[in-house]
């Protein structure tokens, strides 16, 4: 499948609807019949519409009509997957994603505006399930966290490609199944354990003893060099050499791939000539919402990034 138009790819929104509106307007999108659209371009969202931010419903009221009316595409983020699993019961009456205090806290902003089991909540959960886990547009690719061609081939062969069927949802929510690790990789990225005694605190103040890695990077050989996440966390990562290889084969000849998920900071720029992350921590004070204006180029460049600072509530 070949790309037929120019795209504006937009990173994780997390309920910051006012910031999203400001970015769309900066990109030249205007509202017609209440839906943001552009005569010559189409948005591609990177997922993670929900949780954390102050305007969950307002965000979804912007993005869902854009997608349903053909003015945008989107992939599923791990927060949409988590919301679906949180809403889906097991046979024993529990849920695919447990309703413990940590998960309730993570979903609190979404559940405050979409009370559990309300008609709007159930409708939105059903809609989340329609979002594909990846998009291959021929000369450009989109996934929330990691493009692993072997996983994509396996899910395409054994399930229904990028769509979250009932069977795949249940298998991906069961740690003993290979689909659990596969979907975790696509939506949360590759992780490796840190050396003994090393850890860092994440955005939820949770102690992390595993780190996300620059999965495409075959040059970096140390934990610090391979680390992918917020810069302030990196100082806690040792500069020791990594033994073994937990990366993914993704060469410079591959089409550009766009990611969200990784809480970047600073001035947006490509991570590689054909890899770009568009999550620049809008959920944190001082964060920004970032887009990349892609016009078919095989090599990404810093001048194509467009962003707005977070609009405070």
pLDDT tens readout for residues 264-303: 999 999 999 999 999 999 999 999 999 999 999 999 999 9
CA 81 – CA 59 distance, rounded (Å): 17
Contact 77, 47 (CB under 8 A): yes
Distances in Å between the Cα of 249 and the Cα atoms of 101, 104, 147, 246 are 38, 36, 9, 10
Output the pLDDT for position 4.
Answer: 56
Contact 137, 2 (CB under 8 A): yes
| pLDDT reading at 3 higher than 80 | no
Query: CA 128, 130, 132, 136 torsion: positive or negative?
Result: negative
pLDDT tens across 4-13, in order? 579 999 999 9
pLDDT tens across 13-26, in order? 999 999 999 999 99
| pLDDT reading at 236 higher than 80 | yes
CA 178 – CA 243 distance, rounded (Å): 24
Residue bearing tokens 């072997």? 150
Contact 83, 50 (CB under 8 A): yes
pLDDT tens across 153-197, in order? 999 999 989 999 999 999 999 999 999 999 999 999 999 999 988
Contact 133, 187 (CB under 8 A): yes
Output the pLDDT for position 247.
Answer: 72
Q: How confident is the model at residue 1 (pLDDT cuts 50, 70, 90)?
A: very low
pTM: 0.94
Q: How confident is the model at residue 244 (pLDDT cuts 50, 70, 90)?
A: confident
| pLDDT reading at 96 higher than 50 | yes
């Amino acid at each position: 499948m070949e790309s037929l138009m120019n795209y504006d790819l937009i990173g994780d929104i997390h309920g910051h609807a006012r910031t999203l509106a400001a970015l769309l307007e900066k990109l030249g999108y205007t509202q017609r019949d209440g839906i943001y659209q552009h005569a010559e371009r189409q948005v591609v969202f990177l997922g993670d519409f929900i949780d954390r931010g102050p305007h969950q419903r307002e965000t979804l009221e912007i993005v869902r009509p854009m997608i349903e009316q053909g003015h945008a595409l989107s992939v599923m983020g791990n927060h949409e997957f988590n919301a679906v699993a949180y809403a889906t019961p097991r046979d024993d009456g529990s849920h695919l994603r447990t309703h413990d205090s940590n998960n309730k806290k993570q979903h609190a902003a979404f559940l405050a505006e979409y009370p559990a089991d309300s008609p709007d909540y159930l409708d939105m959960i059903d809609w989340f399930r329609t979002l594909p886990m990846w998009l291959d547009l021929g000369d450009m690719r989109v996934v929330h966290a990691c493009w692993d061609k072997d996983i994509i081939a396996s899910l395409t062969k054994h399930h229904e490609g990028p769509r979250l069927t009932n069977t795949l949802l249940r298998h991906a929510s069961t740690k003993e199944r290979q689909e659990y690790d596969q979907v975790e990789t696509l939506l949360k990225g590759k992780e490796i354990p840190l050396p003994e005694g090393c850890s860092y605190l994440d955005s939820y103040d949770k102690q992390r003893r595993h780190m996300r890695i620059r999965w495409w990077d075959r040059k970096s050989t140390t934990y610090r060099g391979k680390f992918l996440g917020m810069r302030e966390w990196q100082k806690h990562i040792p500069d020791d050499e990594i033994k073994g290889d937990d990366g993914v084969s993704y060469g410079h000849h591959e089409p550009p791939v766009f990611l969200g998920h990784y809480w970047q900071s600073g001035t947006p720029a490509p991570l590689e000539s054909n890899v770009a992350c568009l999550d620049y921590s809008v959920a944190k004070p001082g964060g920004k919402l970032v887009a990349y204006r892609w016009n078919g180029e095989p090599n990404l460049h810093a001048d194509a990034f467009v962003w707005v600072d977070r609009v405070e509530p």
